[in-house]
Structures are given as structure tokens and as C-alpha cells.
Structure 1
Amino acid sequence: MAEINNIPWKYLDDFRGSEFKGEWPTFPELLRIQAKRNGERPCFTAFDGPGDSKRTQTYNEVLANVTALADWLIENGLKKGDRVAVMGKNSPEWATAYLAALFASGIVVPVDNGLHEPEVVNIVNTAKPEFVFCDDDKAFYYKNNCPGVKIYSLNPEAGERYVYNLKAKAKPEPNEPATEYDTAAILFTSGTTGKPKGVMLSHRNLISDGFIAQRNFNHYNTDVFYALLPIHHAYTMQAAFINPLQTGASIVFGKSMAVSKLLKELKEGKITVMLGVPLLYNKLLSGIRRGIKSKGPVVAGFLAFVSWLSYMIKKVFHVNPGKQLFKTVLEQASIYTIRVAISGGGPLAASVCRQYNAMGIDFIQGYGLTETSPIIALNPVEHFKSESVGMSFAPYEEIKILNPEKVITKKGVEEVGEIAVKGPMVMQGYYNMPEETKAMFTEDGFLKTGDLGSIDSEGFIKLCGRAKNLIVTSGGKNVYPEEIEDAFQLYDGIQQITVRGYYADDEKTSEEIEALIYPSDDLYKSLGFERNNEFVQDEVLEAVQKIVAKVNKNFQAYSQISKVTLLKEPLEMTTSQKVKRNFVPKTY
């Protein structure tokens, strides 16, 4: 368990008073400190050179590039507090533009590269950035709709507009330095219709959260982080970008989820810390399990026993023999070098967590939201609970359950209610939305997360689901859709499932459980059918219902799925692989 004397930011004391004067350094102060500590160590790496070759920048080189771009921004009119939007695929250029905006005392606005043009325009019209750095294939969004915004490129082909070619003619007079309490970033959580919510996070919010999270997960300047998920998202930004900058570790920027590209970067990048969402880890594990199954029942049975034994040894003795026992399997999956894998963005099935730990990879879950920078809980590597999304960071934050209700679970009675948090990582508020900001906080200053869950005596949090998704049956029982959805994570026949309530009678007095299911290609293949053949959907539905029946056995009668609806096409997802629940499904 993380001890009170585990202070990952202790080294900052050597620079306090000289490089920075506050409780926490700002981003410019942090990068300068790391250049002094780890100047010649690798900082940014990307596999986007000729023939997907590797290119790497040291901490000294990153600092020089960031400083040069910050000077150019100031020379070209950026004032303290002005906004700079950054939108593009993960890359060293993206990270350089992000940091340069902060070095110039500006505010960075990371924009989701997967958004459609109207959504981007809505965000830009709200944030009103002076500059935009983006990939060239999205530049027309701004040219067509945002007069006055200065648009520059993250792509080398752009010539003089390319981020690394922007140089000040002379050293400008610097802007007043930002303090730790100044806003560093505005992260927009939506932008489709109406006024999008921009979460304002200060230097203190983001820097403190990164360091405090390290109490439950120690990492080092020898680690190599894999920034594969979109880096505009608070989870990847904190865990795979800000965190490694705090220890002098290296960051490999992944641009594509294509399996061949992913495996190449994992292997050649010698990744030691991987960040992912449940969907990604489920896919990797599914491939590993298929490979084991193909070796025959005897080998598969033996490995299942070895897996169980390895997991028990780790839980009891805190020693993990799995890395050697499963060496061949891990090498074939290109994940042998991974020391720690972290899952976020939603609860992961406990069985998946156990399997990775059994194979020798320290696999832990975290929990948070954009409004908390985002991490507010993380399972300690040496004392994890597979059914928990993480342990709180007491005494550096406070977590409590609002309006708790006693709920009977397999492990006894739990007090479930809305999770609320207070600490230095909690946002400053929503950009230009004082009423919405006020509504997010309790009278005693706790941020209401909107998530339902419980917290045990050791500070471990167990999530049930979002409060707004809660289903209440006619018998007054609470059903959490996410818990049911999680139970399907390792069934290869189902690519996507979303659970919701429906009314079984015209009087709308009895709400029951419906599952919207998009079957996988594997299921159609196993049945010998083409996906778009409407004449075989009865057979497909029957196969899906068999899977549902298996899962139903694990739930109480009131929370069992009573209606299955097949989807013609998958529901739209966010770039962090969450289903957008405000959908109109196309069904059979």
C-alpha cells in the first residue's frame, strides 16, 4: 500500500526557491527542471519518419523547440491569458505547441481531432483562440468558419507554416509568467449543440494531480510511456504526457490503433508503461486467449492452472512469476517489455485485470473525470483490488459518498451513493458558466462527480455507474447499466452492448432491462452468415440470446436482461471509446 512517506515530488525541494517559488511548479518551471535533471535523456519519440522510422528528441531539444515557439507566439502578439487551440493526431509537434502556449503564459485549448466541423466551430467560437495549430487535413474547418484566427500546421509538409519552422526574428520581451493558480488548459467535454462546457484547469490542478497519483504508482526516468489514446483527452494528457514529464521518462506518441502499427510501436519502442481503455485491453487479451486455445485443450488447461497459481502467488507474496512463465506468450503479443498497464475511461471486468496480473504485467485501474484533472483514484501496484477502480489519495484529497443507501451485494452490504471529491486537482470551474459551475459543488466545497459507487475502509472505490443512467425497477430496485455491460467484455460474439431501461407495459409502470447489441464479425463468421443478410437475423438473435442467458445467471432476477435488440450498425463512440448514449439506434 502507498505509504505516507512516499512523496514522489520530494526532488522538487532541490529546486524550490530557485526554479520556482510556489507549492507546485508551473509547466514552464517543470520542463526547465527536467532539462537540468535529464537533459540528454529521450523525451519525445514518434515512429513517423521515412518508412515509419523512429525519431527522438531529448529533454534539452524539447525545451529548445518549446522556447523557440513560445518566443514566436509572443512576437506575433500572444498576450498572457490568450487561448491557443491545438488539434491533431498524437505527435511531438502537438506536445510542443501545447507546452509553447504555456511557456508564453497563454492558455491551451486541446480540441478533439475526431470532432466534426460544426462541433469544432462551436468550441472555437466559445474559446476564441488567437492561434490554432492543427493537422493540415483539418485546417479548412478553421479557414471556412473562423476569420481572424491564425492557423499553423503540425505537419512537416507545411513548410514555413510548420510548427518547428516558426522562429522569432529577435528575442521578444517575455509576457508576465503564469503562476500555479493561473488557468493552464480549457478542456471541452462536448461541443455538438448549445454552449459547450469548457473545464478550466490550472497549472496547480494538473501538476499536483500528476504527482499525487504517483503515490499509488511509482515510475522512473527509465520508463517509456505509450501515448496511444487521443492526447487531447484528460486521461491520456495526464497519464501519458504530464506524468512522464514529471519524472523525466520518455513518451512514445502513437497515432493509429491499427494492430500492425500498434504492435510495431510496442515492440520497437520498448514500451514499459501502457495506457488504455477497457476495449483496447479486451482486444489484446482476446487475441492472446485465441492463440492459447489454438494449442489444444491440454496446453490451454495447463496454462489456465499456471495463470491461477501465478495470480495467487502475487496476491499473497507480492512476487509475480508470471513474466517468466508467460514469456513466449507476451513476446508474441509484443507486450513483454510492459512493466505496468493502466486502464481508465471506464470500469474493466475484474477477470481481465486478474489475467494480465497473472501473466506478469502489473495491471491496475484508475478513476477520474475531466473536472478533476482527471485522476482521483488509482490502484496501488503492490496492493490492488481487481473489482475496484482505485484507491483514493488521502490525505491529499477527500472523498465522500453523498446520500448513501444500503445495497446488498455479493460481498455484503455496501453504502452506495454519489461520489464527491475535494482536493488540489479539482477544476477552477466551467469557462464563462458560473451557474453550471455552482451546480457541480456541494455547500462544503465537494465536487459532485455524477458517478454512483461505494468506498471501503481502505479508501478503495467501487463504481456502480452514472447517476443519470440509473434504472429503477417497479420493485424499487436500482440497476446500474454499466455493471451489466461490463459482464460482456470477454464474449467475442458481442462487439458492442448498451443497456437501458424500457417500459414493458403501456401504462409505463414497470421499467425492465433492454440490451442493444451489435454482434461481432466473429459471431457471423462462426454461424456462416454475411452480416447484412436480413434473412438470418433470427439465427443471429438466438446466438446472442444464448450469451445473454449465460450472463443473466450472474445477476439477481430484477437486474437480468429481459429484452434483446440487435443493432444494424454500431452506436457512435467518443474518441475515448465510450458509447454516446444520446443515440437513435438503427435496429432490425
Structure 2
Amino acid sequence: MIENGYLSLVETTLKENTALNAFSDFQGETITYGQVGERILGTHQLFKEIGIQKGDKVALIGRNMTSWGVVYIATITYGAVIVPILPDFNSADIHHIVNHSESKVLFSTDLLFDKLDETKMTKLKGIMSINRCASLVDNMSGMFSKAVDKAKEWLKGDGSNFDVEKLNFPQIGADDLMVLSYTSGTSGFSKGVLLPHRSIWSNIVYAREHLILKPEERVVSFLPLAHAYGCLFEFLWPFTVGCHITFLTRTPSPQIITQAFREVKPHIILSVPLILEKIFKKRVQPQLEEFKVKTLTKIPVLNKVVYSKIKNKLVETFGGEFREMIIGGAALNKDVELFLRKIGFPFTIGYGMTECGPLISYAPWTESKKFSAGQLVDRMEVKIDSQDPYNIVGEILVKGENTLLGYYKNEEATNEIFDEEGWLHTGDLGVIDEDDFIFIKGRSKNMLLGASGQNIYPEEIEAVINSMEYVQECLVRDYEGKLEALIYPDYEVTDSEGLNKAQIEQKLQNIKKQANELLPSYMNIQKATLFPEEFEKTPKKSIKRYKYIK
């Protein structure tokens, strides 16, 4: 491992790209690398004033934005541990993560702070607004507010106070903790993934060696930065290269995303399948259904012209200047993949997980194989737990520099994910070919992917619904891109009240409404369906989930 890992890359980019644009809020503020450097030094000053030590946890919550990026980089270059929190979590989840992580300070946007209760996070030294660089809560008898005021000139600086000679990052070991990432919010399901510096550094170095970005080139950051995929490839890696990163700052609907792409014209694009599939369905499919287009695509010579026009229009939808779109987080619809390959659209599919910081496999679009999830990355090993890993599906096991240290305060979960030989059990099923291309055949895990890349664990939603009156049991699944709850009613209760089918249906809709009020917006149920009989169970009385997944 190179000396000081990722921190040395940050130091280099700040010194070499001082005058270049670093961060922009979409249709808002732009700051240079020099300004980022000055604000990093200001944050370090704040940390010193309030007694933050190397290894202390610093919580950060907010949508993708310039000040979010500054706090993140400042925290890890100070030697503290960043605890990024998804802004869609409800207040109880946020309180739990802050307390469970033992964070010493919380950086928050004003809007998100409004839904928090500081009396439920009493171990914090304070809470600071990243919008205004202002103290929101001071648990240090005025010292926190004074420290914020003292550092404000640097925190809002124009870069004139930045002196590269003042950069003095701490020495960091390969296994020193860098990120404590929570895969969910609720206390019953939360796992704090312990990602060391070697994991992030290894991912960054791979990206720098195998993907193409140059100083001043543009990136749009719209995937949730609290998750490893968007954070690494839309933020941490481009920052080391000297790129100009535009943060979307708002809920990433397909319409807003495409507007940002057209204005910013990024040189590389990260996406999740649902975003691409929605745009494909809206922009491409209607053209293919037109009689004239259908006829022309059947003529060998003319179909190439038609496909070329469709490709060009789709490329323009995403800004027109990107070299490659990298899709991750879930499988792409096979029909969509086949058509995109047919028209020569520059996309590829990668595979990873938070526990690997996140990358496991990738291949450039010119080398990718149909229906594969890419090729095993450098510094990682893979093994398929199968008698014939080329033909018989087995669990995907990995080992290498990318992997986590374990789960925070959860020895049982740590022992479950690592076996005695040090292999990490991904919970995903697949095969591998002679070129180390991985083909995922299914997921033993039940995680679903939200429209904007959020991890959705159906057990969390089911736990909420199962606790409600009139519910015997339920199963949550992805149904045509929407979350559907199949609910088997408690007929003993409904019979005692003499409810008919229509009245039971109405109860289910009320249950859906109540559940959605308790859940983050991205976990909201769109459809509640009455299920007529008990779900089929395993000998351990677990629902045979695969029988109900379409």
C-alpha cells in the first residue's frame, strides 16, 4: 500500500488543481480546489477546538451538496471516522445511528435538522448546520458555538487563505477505520459496516488505473452519497483526478437527472438499472412501437440507420459527451440490455457491495460480456462455492484489500460474513467463466434497490406491517418497479368483528397508509394486496420468499 493511502491522493489533488473548479451545487454555488482546501483546514481547526481526536466518529447527513463533500473530505483527512447517514431515514433511525455509532458531532442541513430531536442524541458535542456554517446545538456550554464562529471565515472562505504548506494530514494505517456505513436505519436491522482506509484506497486506485477521467472533466453526483457506490465513483475518485463534480442537491427523479445531464454534459455516468429502464421506456420504446420504425428495423440495411439515430438520441439525453455509463446495484432488464448492445450504447454493468467499499467486478463497455456483472477487479480474489464454479451456481465468496473489517458492535454478524479461511460470503449466487467474468444468477439476500439507489430491506417494512392490527403475516416484494406488500390477514380478528372482504380490503389500505407514515419515503409501499392463504414455509418457519417473487 502506498504511503498514507487515499489521504496522499487528496493532498496531491489539492496542490495540483488549486485553481480548478472542484464542486458545484446544480444551478448554485461553485467552489475551486483551493476553496475546498481552505474549508478543509477550517473544519480541522473546528475539530481541534472542540477536542475531536483521531478515530472519533463524525456523523454527516444531507443531500448531495458542496458542503457535504467538504465535511466528508475534511473528516477523513483529519483522521476521524465519517458516519454518512441517508437523508431519507426517519428521525428515529437517525437518532439510533448517531447514538449507536457514538458520534461526537453531527453535521446536518437545516431542513433535516428540523425533523430531529437533539434531546435524543445527548452524547454529541454539538450539531452544526452545513448550509450556514452555524451552530444548531451546543452541548459544550458555549464552546461549540464559539469554535464554529472562530472557524467560519475559513469554512465560508473564497480560497485566499489556502496555503498548501498548511496541509498536514495525519499518518494513517491500512486498517485504520475510515467509514462507518450503516446499511439501514432501524435498531433491529442496522449493520454498521467498518470500512478501513485500505478498502477505499484500493477502490480508488483501481478506478484511476482502469477508468478514464481527466482534470477539469465533469461528473454529476446524483446517487446517494451515504452509500458506497455513489460516494466512491461520483465523488471520491473524481476528486483525486481534479474533476469538476456537480451535486444534484435534490431528489433525483428521471426528469431532473436528465436536465442536469443536458446542462452539465458529464464525461462519465453512474446509474442504477431503474433510472435507465425508466428513461428507456419513456424515450426509446415509443419510437420502437411506431409502425414506420418497426418496418424499417426489419430491413437489414436500413435498420442500422434507425438504430444509430435511436442511439444518438439516447446519448444526447444523457448530455452527449460521456464515454461510458456504469450500471450497478441490481440486474438490468435483459431485454433492455440486449437492445442497448444492439445499438452500440456505451454501457457496462458492475457488481459490488458496501462491505467491499464497494467494487467486486467491472469491465469497460468495449470488453464486457452479455449478461455478466463484469470481471473480478485487481487486488481481489473470488471463489464460487460450487462443485463446478463454471456451470453450477454457488455463493460468491471474495477476499482481498477491498473488504470490510467487520460490523460495528456486532460480532455475530461479523462471524457470519467471514468464514474460517477469511472468505467474505456475499450472499449472492452465481457462476464464473475462465476470464473471471462473474454472472449473477440470483440473490440469497433479499435486498431491493430503490429508484435512486437506496438499499431497501423488505424485512424492515414487513416488521412494521406485521406489528399492526388485522395482520397475520406479510411479504414485501418488487412488483413491476413498485413495492408491493402481500398481506395475509388475521382472520381470527376479522371474523370476530364480522368484517366482509371489502371491509378487510379497506383495513389493508389503512395499514398501508399507516406504514408509509412510519417509513422513509423511498421505502413506501405503493400497493397492498390481500393474500388469501398462509405463505409456504421452510422447516424453520421462514417464508419461502422465492416462490412469491416475480
TM category, shorter: 0.7 to 0.9
Cα shift readout 1:142-199 (whole Å, capped 9, x = no counterpart): 514112421011224958869983659x999978543333111100112313373111
Distance 2:64 2:78 in 1: 22
Aligned counterpart, 1:83: 57
Distance 1:337 1:363 in 2: 13
Q: Which one is further off, 60-69 or 75-84?
A: 60-69
> 1:346 Cα shift?
0.7
Aligned counterpart, 2:85: 111
Greater relative contact order, per chain length (Cα 8 Å cut-off, separation 6+): 2
> 1:360 Cα shift?
4.9
Aligned counterpart, 1:327: 312
Does structure 2 retain, via aligned residues, the 8 Å contact 1:380–1:391? no
| SS of match in other structure, 1:40 | coil
Q: 1:451 aligns with which of 428, 435, 441?
A: 428
Aligned counterpart, 1:219: 213
> 1:383 Cα shift?
0.6
Aligned counterpart, 2:152: 165
Letter in structure 2 aligned against 1:34: T
Letter in structure 2 aligned against 1:70: H
Matches within 5 A, 1:421-436: 421-436=398-413
Q: Which one is further off, 244-253 or 366-375?
A: 244-253
Does structure 2 retain, via aligned residues, the 8 Å contact 1:126–1:195? no
Q: 2:274 aligns with which of 276, 279, 290?
A: 279
Aligned counterpart, 2:397: 420
Q: 1:400 aligns with which of 359, 383, 389?
A: 383
Letter in structure 2 aligned against 1:349: N
Change in CA separation of 1:403 and 1:132 when aligned onto 2, cut-off 3 Å: same
Matches within 5 A, 1:458-469: 458-468=435-445
Letter in structure 1 aligned against 2:403: V
Letter in structure 2 aligned against 1:402: D
Letter in structure 1 aligned against 2:18: G
Cα shift readout 1:490-526 (whole Å, capped 9, x = no counterpart): xxxxxx9x9xxxxxxxxxxxxxx99874698xxxxxx
Does structure 2 retain, via aligned residues, the 8 Å contact 1:25–1:204? no
Does structure 1 retain, via aligned residues, the 8 Å contact 2:214–2:242? yes
Aligned counterpart, 1:187: 181
Quick check: 1:124 aligned with 2:114? no
Does structure 2 retain, via aligned residues, the 8 Å contact 1:74–1:104? no
| TM-score normalised by length of structure 2 | 0.73
Distance 1:110 1:519 in 2: 27
> 1:208 Cα shift?
0.8
> 1:309 Cα shift?
6.8
Aligned counterpart, 1:31: 10
Quick check: 1:387 aligned with 2:386? no
Q: 2:129 aligns with which of 142, 153, 167?
A: 153
> 1:239 Cα shift?
1.4
Distance 1:450 1:239 in 2: 23
Distance 2:288 2:514 in 1: 28
| SS of match in other structure, 2:421 | coil
Q: Which one is further off, 369-378 or 99-108?
A: 99-108
Distance 1:584 1:174 in 2: 51
Aligned counterpart, 1:45: 24
> 1:433 Cα shift?
2.4
Letter in structure 1 aligned against 2:391: E
| SS of match in other structure, 1:225 | strand
Q: 2:356 aligns with which of 366, 369, 372?
A: 372
| SS of match in other structure, 2:391 | strand
> 1:414 Cα shift?
1.5
Letter in structure 2 aligned against 1:122: H
Does structure 2 retain, via aligned residues, the 8 Å contact 1:200–1:428? yes
| SS of match in other structure, 1:124 | helix
Cα shift readout 1:198-248 (whole Å, capped 9, x = no counterpart): 111111110111222455433333532221111101111111111212322
| SS of match in other structure, 1:187 | strand
Letter in structure 2 aligned against 1:225: V
| SS of match in other structure, 1:587 | strand
Letter in structure 2 aligned against 1:256: T
Matched residue count? 459
Does structure 2 retain, via aligned residues, the 8 Å contact 1:230–1:576? no
Change in CA separation of 1:375 and 1:176 when aligned onto 2, cut-off 3 Å: closer
Change in CA separation of 1:217 and 1:283 when aligned onto 2, cut-off 3 Å: same
Quick check: 1:348 aligned with 2:332? yes
Change in CA separation of 1:517 and 1:29 when aligned onto 2, cut-off 3 Å: closer
Aligned counterpart, 1:318: none
Distance 1:265 1:304 in 2: 35
Name the % identity: 26
| SS of match in other structure, 2:321 | coil
Matches within 5 A, 1:195-214: 196-214=190-208
Aligned counterpart, 2:496: none
Does structure 2 retain, via aligned residues, the 8 Å contact 1:155–1:162? no
Distance 2:118 2:45 in 1: 25
Distance 1:30 1:431 in 2: 27
Distance 1:460 1:259 in 2: 30
Does structure 2 retain, via aligned residues, the 8 Å contact 1:224–1:272? yes
Change in CA separation of 1:454 and 1:239 when aligned onto 2, cut-off 3 Å: same
Distance 2:259 2:382 in 1: 41
Cα shift readout 1:272-313 (whole Å, capped 9, x = no counterpart): 21111111010111111245247x3213543687899769xx
Distance 2:122 2:519 in 1: 28
Distance 1:386 1:211 in 2: 26
| SS of match in other structure, 2:37 | helix
> 1:103 Cα shift?
2.1
Does structure 1 retain, via aligned residues, the 8 Å contact 2:108–2:127? yes
> 1:45 Cα shift?
1.7
Aligned counterpart, 2:528: 586
Gaps of 5+ in 1: 1-21, 50-54, 312-320, 407-412, 470-480, 490-495, 499-512, 521-533, 536-566
Distance 1:449 1:270 in 2: 35
Distance 1:416 1:345 in 2: 20
Does structure 1 retain, via aligned residues, the 8 Å contact 2:373–2:439? yes
Distance 2:252 2:301 in 1: 28
Q: Which one is further off, 336-345 or 56-65?
A: 56-65
Does structure 1 retain, via aligned residues, the 8 Å contact 2:75–2:81? yes
Cα shift readout 1:529-556 (whole Å, capped 9, x = no counterpart): xxxxx99xxxxxxxxxxxxxxxxxxxxx
Aligned counterpart, 2:467: none
| SS of match in other structure, 2:332 | coil
Gaps of 5+ in 2: 136-144, 156-160, 459-474, 483-500, 503-510, 531-550
| SS of match in other structure, 1:586 | strand
| TM-score normalised by length of structure 1 | 0.69
Distance 1:515 1:126 in 2: 29
Distance 1:468 1:163 in 2: 48
Matches within 5 A, 1:312-323: none
Distance 2:227 2:255 in 1: 24
Change in CA separation of 1:194 and 1:423 when aligned onto 2, cut-off 3 Å: same
| SS of match in other structure, 2:529 | coil
Quick check: 1:442 aligned with 2:436? no
> 1:462 Cα shift?
0.8
Letter in structure 1 aligned against 2:354: T
Letter in structure 2 aligned against 1:180: A
Matches within 5 A, 1:546-585: none
Change in CA separation of 1:269 and 1:570 when aligned onto 2, cut-off 3 Å: farther
Q: 1:256 aligns with which of 251, 260, 274?
A: 251
Does structure 2 retain, via aligned residues, the 8 Å contact 1:153–1:162? no
Aligned counterpart, 2:37: 63
